[in-house]
Structure 1
Amino acid sequence: MSATRLLVLGVVRMYGHAHGYQVRRELLTWSADKWANVAPGSIYHALKKMTAESLLAEAGSDAGHGPDRTAYRLTEDGETEFQLLLAKYLAESDDSAPGAYRLAAAVTFLPALPRAKALSLLRHRITQLDGQRASARDLLENGSDWGQPEHVGELYRLWLASMDATDGWLRGLVARLESGGYVMADDGEAAFGTPADQV
């Protein structure tokens, strides 16, 4: 699954209802086209697909200057999907490019979670990452014994350095959340991404 799906659900959720241009404009102000590889066409495709899947429902049209714009709102299933994707993308350690996009999208809406749940998901990711780092170390130390060319070890060093950096950042984020950093969904004030009707 793509980061676009979570980002579109999150923006519609944040506004209460939004049309495609509004979602696109919001994501572009966050530079999501760069850090999440979100293309304008994928936003409109996601809106239509998630409407067909009953995750979004049409909430009327904005008539005025220019073409009519269909507005969308999250359905109950859409809220469930938003929460599931958010949890999955925070907890699942995946060092692929799409995995990095999904993590970035999840961090964008991190405050939509209760603090304890966010901490639990991030700790789970750290545990997975610890296993991946151990595997990379083993490959680095023993890979040539298994018939891999010696220079391939540089790939494992690169992979390990990237995982070490991610691990340091994750542990820092956990520490910041533990010390009360950021307004989270259960803190009693409006957190980033809180639906408009709950502010």
Structure 2
Amino acid sequence: MHGRAHGYLVRSELLSWGADEWAHIKFGSIYHALRQLAKEGLLHSTDIPEWPGRVDYEMAPPGEEEFFRLLKDALRHGNNRSDMLGAALVLLPALPRQEAVALLRERIASLSVEQEELVSRVDEAAGERQERAHIRELLGLWKHSAASQAAWTQELIDRLEAGAYQMAGETRQPG
């Protein structure tokens, strides 16, 4: 989002997203993660001579490829961790609108398959044994959650198709 940033800016951006609450980030580890990503060739690092100890980072081409792979996977798959989906939603504007909509439609399809599988697993898991009947509640919760996520995802698609948010490749309209 910033192109080139130092660790403190990354930390500030993550805090502004509330990532400390939903991603369980330990902010002391950000600097280590940035150094490791640079070591792996996913980021370029630049020492800033005017500010001893400050290092700026920007994505290298392999880092950009990995970023978009992770972003797209988090959007298209229904059964993923909430922190991955949260990060994908924050970074959604990095994608062109039509691509984001297509990925979200894949998410709905994935959630639909998940719901169908859960329906068959509910009876299978509980079986005829009365002492296991309560397992249906857990699977029912998962089924309900998948249905709720699918409905919410459709609402997001509707908002995107109506022009909500500035997406990659779009110019900001004045006013």
TM over 0.5: yes
* 1:21 paired to 2:3: no
Distance 1:127 1:175 in 2: 16
Alignment equivalent of 1:110, drawn from 79, 84, 92:
92
Contact map agreement 1:18 1:72 (CA 8 A) in 2: yes
Name 1:35's counterpart in structure 2.
22
Name 1:70's counterpart in structure 2.
55
Name 2:116's counterpart in structure 1.
134
Matches within 5 A, 1:64-103: 64=51, 68-95=53-80, 99-103=81-85
Contact map agreement 1:55 1:77 (CA 8 A) in 2: yes
Name 2:47's counterpart in structure 1.
60
- What residue ranges of structure 1 are gaps of 5+ in the alignment? 1-13, 191-199
Distance 1:77 1:189 in 2: 29
Name 1:170's counterpart in structure 2.
153
- Larger RCO (CA under 8 A, 6+ residues apart): 1
The Cα offsets for residues 128-174 of structure 1, whole Å up to 9 and x where unpaired, read as: 11011111122224432265700111101211221122111101011
Judge which range, 55-64 or 20-29, deviates more.
55-64
Distance 1:58 1:36 in 2: 25
Task: For residue 40 of structure 1, give the secondary structure of its aligned residue in structure 2.
Answer: coil
Q: Percent identity?
A: 39
Distance 2:17 2:157 in 1: 23
Task: For residue 160 of structure 1, give the secondary structure of its aligned residue in structure 2.
Answer: helix
Name 1:7's counterpart in structure 2.
none
How high is the TM-score relative to the length of structure 2? 0.89
Matches within 5 A, 1:145-184: 145=127, 149-184=132-167
Distance 1:91 1:83 in 2: 12
Contact map agreement 2:37 2:43 (CA 8 A) in 1: yes
How high is the TM-score relative to the length of structure 1? 0.79
Amino acid in structure 2 at the alignment position of 1:114: P
> Residue 140 and residue 48 in structure 1: after superposition, are their counterparts in 2 closer, same or farther (change >3 A)?
same
Contact map agreement 1:89 1:106 (CA 8 A) in 2: yes
Amino acid in structure 2 at the alignment position of 1:101: D
Contact map agreement 1:62 1:70 (CA 8 A) in 2: no
